[in-house]
Amino acid sequence: MADWHKILVAVDDSSLSERVLNYVGEVVGSIDRAKICLLHVYPEPPPYYFTEKHTLQEYQQEKEAAARQVFNRAGQVLAGHAIAAARITTTCLMATGKTFSKTILQVQKDGEFGTVVLGKRGISKAEEFLFGSVSNAVIRESHDFTVWVVS
**Contact of 8 with 109, CB cutoff 8 Å:** no
State the pairing for strand pair 115-119/88-94.
unpaired
Domain 11-150, CATH number (from 3.40.50.2300, 2.40.50.100, 3.40.50.620, 3.40.50.720): 3.40.50.620
Within 13 A of 4's CA, how many CA atoms are on the CB side? Answer: 8
Residue 54 phi, psi dihedral angles, 5° rounding: -100, 160
Q: What is the pLDDT of residues 125-146, one digit of tens each?
A: 444 444 457 888 898 888 899 9
Q: What is the pLDDT of residues 51-72, one digit of tens each?
A: 888 899 999 999 999 999 999 9
Query: What is the chain's mean pLDDT, rounded?
Result: 89
Q: What is the rounded end-to-end Cα distance, in angstroms, of the chain?
A: 26
Locate the domains of the chain by residue range: 11-150
* CB environment 104-138: b (16+ within 10 A), e (fewer): bbebbeeeebbbbbbbeeeeeeeeeeeeebbbebb
What CA dihedral angle connects 44, 89, 104 and 30, to 10 degrees? -140
Query: What 8-state DSSP symbol labels residue 86?
Result: G
Q: Do the beta carbons of residue 140 and residue 114 sit within 8 Å?
A: no
Q: Residue 2: what pLDDT?
A: 73
Residues of the chain with pLDDT under 50: 123-131
